[in-house]
Structures are given as structure tokens and as C-alpha cells.
Structure 1
Amino acid sequence: MTTIAYQTLSAEAANQLSDELYEVLSACVRDGASVGFINNDPEPMANFWQSAIADLASGEKQLLVARQQQRIVGTVIVEFCRKPNGNHRAEIAKLLVHPVARRQGIARELLARAEQLAQQEGKTLLVLDTRTGDVAEQLYLAQNWQVSGQIPAFARSTENQLDATTVMYKLL
């Protein structure tokens, strides 16, 4: 088994590696992941990463990645709430693992590191949403996340169906 390295990327590093970040997102969407995109149109995906990189530079987000054989194979974004009444919380977003690198514990490790990062930043509450019934939902439950509720017909899938989402939280 190949060694997997984890790191937090600066905005500058993320910008230099934007092609690799794009490839992970694109591969996950091709595989049917419900991560905000319904097809592999490159423009919205590239725009997403450019916006995320700008948020890294401003400190609104932090990006953790997993590398295998020097290539990015996994990502997770920690989005810090900047509202005065919410500065104790953060959101977990874009927990992605390239399909060729799955079943190695990468998502679990990225999630654990994201939780640690949030805790180091003084956050006491994490939130996220995930497609109801998705394998990701089981991952979060196994890592002691709690279900807040479900919203029907929340997001359009890559198959053009409206899927429910499960809203989850974890107290740190």
C-alpha cells in the first residue's frame, strides 16, 4: 500500500495545484457524488476552486488534502462562520476522495484532521449536509456525527433526480 501524506494548503499552494484539485472534484462528480455539481462542466468547477482559493487567502476557509504518490487524491474544506453569533462554528465541505484512492481510510482521516483543525481554531460546533442514504452519511455516523434532520428534494443529482439531504452536526 502506498503512503498517504496529509497537509493543509495555503492559497498560493492551492492555486499552483488547482489542476489536481479540479481533477479530484471532476472524478467524484463523474462517479455520481452529490457535491454541488450535476455534470462535468469545467467552468463551474474551475470557478468553484478559484473562489475557494480566494477564501483560503482571506482566512474564511482552510483546505486539507491527502496525497498519494505526490498527487492530490482527497480534499476537505473547513469553512469558518464569520457571523458574530456563529464564530464558534464551522462547516465541513467538499470531503472528496478520488475514486481510484477509495477504501483506504482517506476520508475518515481527512475528516478527523478537519475536526482537529476546527478545534484548534476554537470552534465547538461543526455542521455539514450530505445526500441521504449516501455512503458518506454512514461515514459521518461512524465518526459520531449526529443527525439534525432531513430535507426532501434538496439537491439535483447527476441523474437529474431530486435527492434528500441529511443535515448533521458534531459538538467538539
Structure 2
Amino acid sequence: MSEIEVRRLSAKEAAASLDALANILIDCVENGASVSFMAPLARETALAFWQQIANSVAANERILLVAEDASGRIVGTVQIVTAQPENQPHRADVAKMLVLSAARKQGIGARLMHAVDMHAQQAGKTVLVLDTVTGGDAERLYERAGWQRAGTVPNYALMPDGRFCATTFYYKQLAPAPREA
């Protein structure tokens, strides 16, 4: 496996990475990932989605992490949605964990999820939640990363081809970030 670096993108970097992020989203949808979009996913739709995410990063509503290969190409991404209701300042949602199909099975997802824990802790988040397609590969990834299954909702979403799919919800408790002396 080539060297992979996981890093946080600034709003400016996110805006400059729209094409690469759109490529990952389109690839994932084309390969059957239920990630809120239907197939075929138009490039304009993917670009508009990532522009909204870049705007959200600029507004400090979320953290955008990417995994880059040795050549600097983005091969994976995940988001930490930090903007939560007033009574949930300690919580964040993990969203759009995506890895290019050609780059899977190389530990990129595990590296991204490790970075999620670190960045969420630094942001003062101690409870994380996410959802994923029931029975998919992501379930094993999340469980190996210490996530706890909360429950499953049948027919919660659609696969990109229009079939219903069940969704499993997960949570993870994090220790508060250590305070600097």
C-alpha cells in the first residue's frame, strides 16, 4: 500500500478540492453505496453537494477530513458534523465516510475513523453517532473501531438503484480531550 496521509481541510482547501471530492462521491454511488444519492449521480449534483460542505466548513459547522495517497490524490473522506442543537454541545455526527472503490481494503477507512476520534475529541465532542447500510462492509469497520450498535431501522433509505435498505445506527463514547498543562 502506498503511504496514506489523513488530514483536515480548511474551507479554502475544501473549495479547491471539489472535483476530487465529487469523483469519490460519484464512484461510491456508482458502486452501490447508499450515501443519500441515487444513480446515476450527475457531476453537477456532486459538485453542488461538496460546495455546500465547503460552505459548512467555512461556517465552523463541520470538520472535513481527507485521506491522500503519496501523490496527493484524495482517495477517501469523512465529515464530523459539529453543529448540533443547544442541548447537545458534546455530540457530533459522523457523515459521508467514503473511500474510492479502487483504494478499498487498504486500511484507509480505519485511518479516517481514527482521525475522526482525534479531531472530535479536540473539538470537545464526547458522543459520536453515525448510520450505515445494514449488512454492509462499513459495519465491520465501525465495530472494529469500537463503535456500538444502537439499533436497526428497516426500509430506512434507498440504495442508489432504488431498492429499500435497512440502516443501522452506531454510537461511540469518547473520553474528553486531555487539557494542556
Report the TM-score range of the alignment, normalised by the length of the smaller protein. Answer: over 0.9
Asked if 1 retains the 8 angstrom alpha-carbon contact of 2:84 and 2:92, the reply is: no
Deviation, 1:165, is 0.2
Deviation, 1:140, is 0.6
Identify unmatched segments of 5+ residues in structure 2: 175-181
- Percent of aligned positions with the same letter in both sequences? 43
Structure-2 residue corresponding to 1:167: 169
How many aligned residue pairs are there?
Answer: 172
Structure-2 residue corresponding to 1:23: 23
Structure-1 residue corresponding to 2:178: none
Q: Distance in 2 between matches of 1:95 and 1:82?
A: 19
Deviation, 1:142, is 1.3
Q: Distance in 1 between matches of 2:131 and 2:157?
A: 11
Q: Distance in 2 between matches of 1:104 and 1:49?
A: 25
For 1:3, the aligned partner's letter is E
For 2:13, the aligned partner's letter is A
Structure-1 residue corresponding to 2:63: 62
Say which SS state the counterpart of residue 37 (structure 1) adopts.
Answer: coil
Structure-2 residue corresponding to 1:71: 73
Deviation, 1:56, is 0.1
Task: Work out whether 1:14 is the aligned partner of 2:8.
Answer: no
Q: Distance in 2 between matches of 1:96 and 1:88?
A: 25
Q: Distance in 2 between matches of 1:170 and 1:91?
A: 10
For 2:102, the aligned partner's letter is V
Structure-1 residue corresponding to 2:177: none
Supply the RMSD in Å over aligned alpha carbons: 1.0
Deviations 1:49-68 (A, max 9, x none): 11111000010001010111
TM-score, normalized by length of structure 1?
Answer: 0.97
Deviations 1:85-125 (A, max 9, x none): 01100011111110111111000010110111001111110
Say which SS state the counterpart of residue 160 (structure 2) adopts.
Answer: coil
Asked if 2 retains the 8 angstrom alpha-carbon contact of 1:81 and 1:88, the reply is: no
Q: Distance in 1 between matches of 2:8 and 2:59?
A: 15
Q: Distance in 1 between matches of 2:154 and 2:105?
A: 29
Structure-2 residue corresponding to 1:45: 46
Deviation, 1:81, is 3.4
For 2:3, the aligned partner's letter is T
For 1:122, the aligned partner's letter is G
For 1:141, the aligned partner's letter is E
Structure-1 residue corresponding to 2:150: 148
TM-score, normalized by length of structure 2?
Answer: 0.92
Q: Distance in 2 between matches of 1:82 and 1:100?
A: 34
Deviations 1:14-68 (A, max 9, x none): 1111100100111111111111111122232222111111000010001010111
